[in-house]
Amino acid sequence: MGAKRSSLEMDYYDVYNQSNVELVDVNSNSIVEITPNGIRTEDGREHELDLLVLATGFDSVTGGITNINIVGTDGISIKEKWKDGIHTYLGLGCAGFPNLFFVHGPQSPTAVCIGPTCSETEGDWIAECIRVMTTNNLARIEPTREAEIGWREEVMKEASTRLINTAKSWYRGANVPGNHLITLNLPSQN
């Protein structure tokens, strides 16, 4: 697994290596103006463009969950629970939110596995869990805080051996200003 996702465009590197193409690091030299011919950066230089794409990013992995006002049994929203970092058990659920299951959730291996395969495995696990609950007349299930802590330690241990742990990328939530940087997915399928 790389530290940043490669472009899926087949000609990306060929175009990038053309003599008329230049990389402009807008993280260290911000865009201050859009001009008729392109952009002007903080250093006063105008960069002529054929096309300007405003790709502002997205809140990968957690945004689809935290943008819904899911409130747990203690009255705290999942967004508030995760404000200092993600805690889940197996990437499938979290303490304080009974009967809430995630598919492709935070701290699952979904960034490194084939989507349908992961979905099927997670769906089978959830279905078996519900079957066991039904068979045993159980109405509620949720992971313990200790299970969350143990799983987070496992994810962080696995991430610590990978280049991804140092990258400023969406894999760690770096594409959203103010995000607490943490590995969002288990970086292996072990």
Domain limit, last residue, from 55, 74, 90: 55
Which pLDDT tens digits describe the chain residue by residue (190 residues)?
Answer: 566 666 677 788 888 899 988 888 888 899 999 999 999 999 999 999 988 877 766 788 888 899 899 999 999 999 999 988 899 999 999 999 999 999 999 999 888 888 888 899 999 999 999 999 999 999 999 999 999 999 999 999 998 888 888 888 888 888 787 777 888 888 876 6
40 and 76 co-located in one domain: no
- pTM reported for the whole predicted model: 0.73
Domain limit, last residue, from 35, 55, 75: 55
Residues in the chain, how many? Answer: 190
Whether residue 183 is contained in a domain is answered as no
Whether residue 140 is contained in a domain is answered as yes
Domain count, the chain: 2
